[in-house]
Each structure stands twice: as C-alpha cells, then as structure tokens.
Amino acid sequence: MDEDNQVNIKELLSARFQNPKFVYDGKRMQPIYERQCYDYSSAIIYQAHCPLLPQYKFPNFALGSQILNMPSPDECTPFQAMTNKFVHLSINKIRSPVNCIIWNSDGRRLLSGSCSGEITMWNGFSFNFDTIVQAHESPIRAMAWSPTSTFLITSDNLGFIKYWNPSMSNIQIIEAHNESIKDLCFSYNDTRFCSASDDSTIKVWDSINSRCERVLLGHNWDVRKAQWHPTKALIASGGKDNLLKLWDPREQECLTTFHYHKNTILSLKFYKENYLLSGGKDQVIKMLDLRNMKECFTYKNHNKDVTSIATHPSTSLFVTGNNEGVINFWDMFNDSPLGQSDNKHENTIWTLDFHPSGHALASGSADCTIKFWIRPRPKDFELREEPVEEIDAQPEAFVIPGL
C-alpha cells in the first residue's frame, strides 16, 4: 500500500473529528442525523423520588426551566393534556396506507397494520423502525391486544383472523367471515372478543378455543365498528346503514337501535364507562348516555367526516380525525374544539391511539405515514404580550375649542 492511500485513510478516519456533522462508516461519508428521544420513565421516577409541594406542582406562569416539573398526564386538565405538538413522522420502506395502529400495554412499542399486509413495530421512545412482519396476504383492517397482553389478534380483507404471541409468532388462523373484517374488540377479560364485518354480521368468539359462540344479526349493510364495553357485557355497533345498535353478547337479539346519524358511522368509542361516542360521514359527533339510553350531547363543529376517535386514558379529553388529515381535540360537553394538530396529514386519518401513559398520541393515515404527537413543553406556552398601537400625541389634539 503506497503512502498516498495511507494518508487518505487517515484523513477519512479523522474526518469525524474535523467535521462533527459527518461520520465514516467504512465505505462512504454519511451525515449525522440527530434523533430525538422522548423517554417518559425518567420523569416518572423523578416525580416519585423528588415530590414537589402542591404550590409548585402547577405554577401559574410559563417558564421553560419547568420541564422537569411538568404535571403527570393523569393530573392534567384536558387543555394541558392536549398532544398537539408534532415530533416525528414514520414511513415504511414499502409505502402503503395505514389502516390500524395500537400501542403495547407497556408503551414500549407501537404496532401498525397496512394495506400491504405487514405489521410494523415502532420504538415507543425514539419512534424509529424496530421490525416488520408479513402477517397477512391482504390488507390488515383491525388489531386488538388481549386485556392481559397475552396475545394479539389481527384481521384482513379476506375475512381471516390471526393470533400472535408478544414475540410476533403466529399461533392460530381462523376463517371468521366471508367479507372484510373492519373491527375487533376484546371483552373485559381474555376469554371473549367480537368481530365486525362487511357481511353485515357481528360475531362473538371464544378466544381460548377459537370458536364462534354467537352471530349477531340486525344490520342491513356493512358493519364498520363493533366495540365491547370495558367493564360490562355490552357491545355497540355501527355501519353503513346509519344505525347505532347495542347488543347483549349473551343473547342474539339487539337490545336497542338509535337513528341518530344521517350517514355512515365510521367510528365508535366508549367514553368514561357511562358514555358512547360515535361519528361518521354526517360530520357530527354524538354522545350517548348509557344510563338512560338517550343522546346527551352533540358536537357539531367538526365540519368534516369523523373517521376515527380515541379517548385519553385518564382525563376527559378525546380526539377525532377527519378525511382532510386534521386531528381535533375535544372536552366533555364543550361544543368547540380545544385545539387542532399543528401539522396535518395529507389524506384521511383512519386510526388514532393514545400512549398508555397519555403523554403521546399516534395517528395513521391513508397518506402512508404514521405521525407521533406529544404535549407542548412549558416554553411553548410562554405568554406573549400583544403589540400596543402607539398614538402620536400632538398638542393640537388636546386643545379645547373656543379656549
């Protein structure tokens, strides 16, 4: 090896120290990209071991240095818990619309299902790609973790349901419906789950034996959503026939039917145990009180199709996505949205899910991207005084006429 080559290698190896923006990886020079990481565990440990006095927990002034003293999401007001600050955009190598996303119960991973049939795992701290699994041969439409996180179920366009263990190994395959399965939801334990399909049926399954127990008939068209109440034996469903139905999973007859919507119901979510939120193509959000089986509030200021709904794990905050890629933040019995996302998607938002701790929100869209949102930092709320218009005080303006 001649001296010139030795000098060139030394220059390449020392290039990182000469120019810290580049790194030599053995083949070529690559720029160094700064990857942000949002680790919430340190803040939880800090608050547990260094508790603050009540008067210092919620300062009434904005100060950037209060980053360590930010209130826990479960102690926030709905306005403080808003996750409207965009932090990261994630895209698969093979671009495909994202139909469903779901967080692991420990919050360390986010799973996404796309139209390519792939399940992608994203890191819950740095939001980068972890691994990918070719799970289905057709687009994935729904995913649901069992309440104890023992296994995951997924559904596709061909009517198949697959079981997966936490290491993403396939356990079981069920030929569940004749058409696309649009929604899956577990009961309050691991023993039952329900599936909603375009074949106008809702099926209740024994998840242990992979056996269909009941078929709920009553919808006249595609069933888009079916949600199991988190603590009760109650299933809510909605679909293309504009009907909102409530079912007892132990019976095959519908308990009651509501004609509240004027167009297709695209999203359903139980809210605070006693309420049910529903939204669709009629551009309104209806809130049903389950205690008296009546509509108790209508959110009319959405102005676009309500394509997805997610509720905050601890506060009364809930979010909706529309067909223009905008996320709206709402509070209970408040017709006006608290705020909007600052960096919208380029297409319809099909799925939303809050992090289990409530500090972050993930959104999946038809524009083939997943976006992550967090709470604004204290410095983002710094008060700004509005500019005051200066008035030129001329002596003639203060002269009293006639004197």
Angstrom distance (rounded) from CA 24 to CA 185 = 49
pTM of the model: 0.81
Residue 256 in domain: yes
Angstrom distance (rounded) from CA 353 to CA 319 = 9
pLDDT at 26: 57
The total number of structural domains that make up the chain: 1
31 by DSSP, 3-state: which? strand
From the number of C-beta atoms within 10 Å of its C-beta (0-12, 13-18, 19+), residue 212 rates as middle
228 by DSSP, 3-state: which? strand
pLDDT at 301: 83
Going across the sheet that includes 360-365, the strands are 85-91, 369-374, 360-365, 349-354
Residue 62 in domain: no
Residue 144 in domain: yes
pLDDT at 39: 72
| 117 close to 139: Cβ distance less than 8 angstroms | yes
pLDDT at 392: 43
Residue 293 in domain: yes
- Among candidates 377, 287, 381, 375, which has minimal Cα distance to 74? 375
Write the DSSP assignment of 55-76 as a string of letters: HHHS-SS--GGGGGGPPPGGGS
Angstrom distance (rounded) from CA 300 to CA 264 = 16
Write the DSSP assignment of 142-183 as a string of letters: EEEE-TTSS-EEEEETTSEEEEE-TT--EEEEEE--SS-EEE
pLDDT at 65: 52
Residue with tokens 């019995």: 333
pLDDT at 78: 83
**122, two tokens:** 């994203």
Q: Which residues of the chain have pLDDT under 70?
A: 1-35, 42-43, 51-71, 74, 378-403
Read off the pLDDT of residues 217-229 as tens digits, 9 standing for 90 and up: 989 899 999 999 9
CATH classification of the domain holding 359: 2.130.10.10
Angstrom distance (rounded) from CA 265 to CA 259 = 11
Q: What sign has the CA pseudo-torsion 235, 166, 170, 155?
A: positive
From the number of C-beta atoms within 10 Å of its C-beta (0-12, 13-18, 19+), residue 352 rates as buried
Residue 349 in domain: yes
pLDDT at 390: 42
Q: Which residues, in sequence order, are CB contacts of 232 under 8 Å at separation 6+?
A: 188
Q: Which residues, in sequence order, are CB contacts of 256 under 8 Å at separation 6+?
A: 245, 246, 293
Read off the pLDDT of residues 374-388 as tens digits, 9 standing for 90 and up: 888 766 654 433 334
Paired sense of beta strands 152-156 and 170-175, if any: unpaired
Residue 145 in domain: yes
pLDDT at 56: 57
Residue 400 in domain: no
Residue 401 in domain: no
pLDDT at 8: 57
- Distance from chain centroid for Cα 111: 11
Which domain, by its residues, includes 270? 78-378
Q: Which residues, in sequence order, are CB contacts of 55 under 8 Å at separation 6+?
A: none
